[in-house]
């Protein structure tokens, strides 16, 4: 019975590197190996399988149609081997099989996902259970031992925490909302006459601390996305994390309400490792990734003065754009 030819991982790596680097010399540099070693690896695959992987066109080696098909398989094998190696390293270091992360919804989702992706590259076999919460839902998870790591706006008594970032909130509504039609600085009395959009506290005993206005009407929803859509349709106003509605502010579909200094609020988010003495290397590494990502990607969130200037600029641009649109309608 004929034996199936065996191709080593190093030979697959050599072949894949030659295809991606566009030549043997460059592939050797990428792999930190001699060019003769890379050439031998590719030749060995050709000899074992009896196929031609490259053909010369002038002085350049171009992958054949057969070689291109084999490259797809080789790429998958190399990736899988890399994944297995990283997993083995993580397990040997005692990294956790699962990490429960509880995060306030006001933390930028794009930044959180970027951090989880970076962590996954280092420990691909650690499962992440992400719970997105609001106000007391986060503190309950910490106190009840349901979080290995938490991003919270409130630190329960007896737990150590470190400041992570400040989140800026902006009171905003659709540009044609009745509050904008008043064309003057607004008071809280004005707000009470209109529908307030609120995101529900996810705790078992719901706090009303996020209900900042005793409005005649209030819609309480479970997701920020729902409140943003309702405001964008002109169905109410709300205080939104500025980062969450950056696209709407830029497009002018939501415009900050002219409340003066009161149109902005800030919430301080903290990073909490509930059981820091027993925290595993995975939890500690994910915490470090979060800290570094905030410092590198959100420096302005740490400086409310710079943010206030940006909001004033955005509001001025939105108002000027609205005036131009009205002028164009009158002219037509």
Question: pLDDT (tens digit, 9 = 90+) per residue, 210-269?
Answer: 446 667 788 999 888 999 999 999 999 999 999 999 999 999 999 999 987 666 789 999
Q: What is the CATH number of domain 168-266+300-331?
A: 3.40.190.290
Res 307: pLDDT? 44
pLDDT given for residue 324 in this prediction: 52
Residue pair 86/123 in contact (Cβ under 8 Å)? The answer is yes
Residues 6+ apart with CB under 8 A from 64: 52, 53, 54, 55
Q: How far apart are CA 71 and CA 322, in angstroms?
A: 55
The reported pLDDT for the residue numbered 96 is 86
Amino acid 82: pLDDT: 74
| pLDDT computed for residue 312 by the predictor | 45
CB 15 within 8 A of CB 53: yes
Q: Which two tokens stand for residue 62?
A: 């171009």
* Structural contact between residues 319 and 325, judged by C-beta atoms closer than 8 angstroms: no
Give me the percent of the chain exceeding a pLDDT of 70.
80
Pairing of strands 196-199, 218-221: parallel
Where in the chain are all domains bearing CATH 3.40.190.10? 98-164+270-297
Residue by residue, DSSP assigns 105-122 as TTS-HHHHHHHHHHHHHH
The CATH 3.40.190.290 domain(s) of the chain lie at 168-266+300-331
- What residues does CATH 1.10.10.10 cover in the chain? 9-92
Per-residue model confidence (pLDDT) at position 299: 65
Query: Are 245 and 174 within 8 A, CB to CB?
Result: no
Q: Which two tokens stand for residue 165?
A: 């970032």
* CATH number belonging to the domain at 98-164+270-297, selected among 3.40.50.620, 3.40.190.10, 3.40.50.11540, 1.10.274.100: 3.40.190.10
Instruction: List CB contacts of 29: < 8 A, sequence separation 6 or more.
Output: 21
9-92, CATH topology level = Arc Repressor Mutant, subunit A (1.10.10)
| Under 8 Å between Cβ of 220 and 200 | yes
pLDDT of the residue at 329? 43
Tens digits of residue pLDDT in 150-189: 999 999 988 999 999 999 999 999 999 999 999 899 988 8
């Amino acid at each position: 019975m004929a034996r199936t030819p065996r191709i080593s991982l190093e030979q697959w790596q050599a072949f894949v590197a030659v295809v991606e680097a566009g030549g043997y010399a460059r592939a050797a540099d990428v792999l930190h190996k001699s060019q003769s070693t890379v050439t031998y690896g590719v030749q060995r695959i050709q000899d074992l399988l009896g196929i031609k992987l490259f053909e010369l066109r002038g002085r350049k080696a171009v992958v054949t149609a057969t070689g291109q098909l084999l490259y797809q398989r080789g790429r998958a094998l190399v990736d899988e081997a890399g994944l297995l190696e990283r997993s083995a390293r993580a397990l040997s270091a005692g990294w956790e099989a699962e990490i429960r992360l509880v995060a306030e919804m006001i933390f930028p989702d794009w930044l959180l996902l970027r951090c989880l992706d970076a962590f996954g590259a280092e420990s691909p076999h650690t499962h992440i259970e992400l719970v997105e919460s609001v106000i007391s839902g986060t503190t309950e998870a910490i106190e009840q031992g349901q979080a290995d790591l938490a991003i919270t706006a409130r630190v329960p008594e007896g737990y150590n925490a470190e400041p992570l970032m400040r989140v800026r909130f902006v009171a905003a509504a659709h540009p044609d909302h009745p509050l904008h039609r008043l064309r003057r600085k607004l008071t809280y009395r004005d707000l009470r006459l209109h529908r307030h959009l609120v995101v529900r506290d996810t705790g078992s005993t719901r706090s009303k601390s996020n209900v900042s206005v005793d409005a005649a009407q209030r819609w309480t929803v479970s997701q920020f996305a729902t409140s943003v859509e309702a405001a964008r349709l002109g169905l109410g106003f709300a205080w939104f994390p500025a980062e969450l509605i950056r696209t709407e502010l830029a497009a002018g579909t939501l415009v900050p309400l002219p409340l003066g200094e009161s149109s902005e609020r800030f919430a301080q988010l903290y990073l909490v490792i509930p059981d820091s003495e027993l925290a595993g290397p995975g939890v500690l590494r994910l915490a470090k990734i979060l800290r570094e990502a905030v410092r590198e990607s959100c420096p302005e969130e740490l400086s409310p003065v710079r943010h206030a200037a940006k909001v004033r600029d955005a509001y001025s641009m939105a108002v000027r754009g609205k005036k131009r649109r009205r002028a164009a309608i009158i002219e037509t």
